[in-house]
Amino acid sequence: MKFLIICIAVLTLSCSATKPRTSSLANSANPIKTGAELTEEYVPYLKGKRVAILANPTSIIGKTHLVDSLKSLGINIVKVFGPEHGFRGNASAGVHVADEIDAKSGIPVISLYGKKNKPSKEDMADVDVMVYDLQDVGVRFYTNINALSRLMEACHENGKELLILDRPNPNGYLVDGAVLDMKYKSGIGMFPIPMSHGLTVAEFAQMANGQGWLKGGVKCKLRIVKVANYNHDMPYTLPVSPSPNLNTQQAVMLYPSTCMFEGTYINLGRGTYFPFTVLGSPELKGKYEFNFTPTGIKGMAETPLFMNQVSYGLDLRNYDVEQLRKKKQINLQWIMELYKAHPYKEKFFDSKLSKQMNNIEIQIGSGLFRQQIIDGKSEAEIRASWEPGLSQYKEMRKKYLLYN
């Protein structure tokens, strides 16, 4: 995609978060432009410094990786940190990633999804500034914001500034779900935010600082390059898949609603080339005509639930996601429907049946949801139980927004 050059100011943020200027609405003359694309706003700042970057395949300028682009511009990149799935994005979900030398750039890559999840003092010793540029999808159980929070802690501990190149949230319109009950804190939920939080990564960083969520209540010194011509209600099609199992725009838009099935005995398309867009189980045979067969796929899901078994259920590949945008709500009807259809209801939320599953309490972030579905509570009753936490979060969120 070709974009016009649009200049915006770099916001330098320290301990406290302030409400910044809002972006103008995008139009044909002023398309959305990511922070990374605004090189004139941060390349001069990086010149002459030893730079480390937390990046993955979504870290791009046009069609070129950020690391390759900055290296060609004479920026001294001393190392790259890789998150889940690795720097070049070829590791399966949940699989630990080893350190390596990047074959293309020759730059050392240190994994933050293997032996450690946070840069060490030694890692930071030869770094002047840290750069964060990962595409997020706006959902609590997507682990990029956890990696960001730990990076913020490491920067504070080692006296480094963190430069965030912000990107649009494709689900930025959606603020919904139970706010995490912190007794269910886990690797897929570390902060008291709803399932779909409605923040860009830079806004989340401001919130983590402002709410004292970093370890010890510390605050990271931030420098942010905002997205130009963006607001949260704008549709945004990702130019690169954010992870191997979110490989279509349809999957990205359905993800807030379908990822909750990780806490059930239902396959949500893992082991197919269309994950998060189909839902099924062998035990639903006779209930649904649509079927698919999960298989082991290297780099995506090597031992999926119901591997090599024909699974029956819902095909959401052609579901009109504009319905989600109009309602501004996570879809609860699919999990309610499949529970009612399942012939062995005692299995539906049994996390011991598959080693790949989280229990539903951890996934949803609430101790009420399992029993609500079992009891046949209405969607309105379930949503009522998310209050007043969800409304309080929405009010708190306003303090940290960078965009209209």
Report the pLDDT averaged over residues 267-283.
Answer: 97
Residue that wins the pLDDT comparison between 28 and 25: 28
Residue 109 has pLDDT above 50, yes or no: yes
* Neighbouring-strand partners of residue 104: none
What residue spans define the domains of the chain? 10-239, 249-389
Question: Which ranges of 186-274 does DSSP label H, i.e. alpha helix?
Answer: 201-210, 249-258
Residue 7 has pLDDT above 70, yes or no: no
pLDDT value at position 353?
A: 78
Cα–Cα distance for residue pair 358/260, rounded to 1 Å: 9
Residue 378 has a CB neighbour count (10 Å cut-off) of: 11
Q: Mean pLDDT across the chain, nearest whole number?
A: 90
pLDDT value at position 21?
A: 31
Cα–Cα distance for residue pair 364/173, rounded to 1 Å: 19
Which range is least confidently modeled, 17-26, 233-242, 274-283?
Answer: 17-26
Instruction: State pLDDT tens for residues 26-56.
Output: 445 689 999 999 999 999 999 999 999 999 9
Architecture of domain 249-389: Alpha-Beta Complex (3.90)
Record the tokens describing residue 6, joined without a space.
């649009």
Report the pLDDT averaged over residues 332-339.
Answer: 98
Record the tokens describing residue 386, joined without a space.
């998310």
Residue 276 has pLDDT above 90, yes or no: yes
Q: What is the CATH number of domain 10-239?
A: 3.40.50.12170
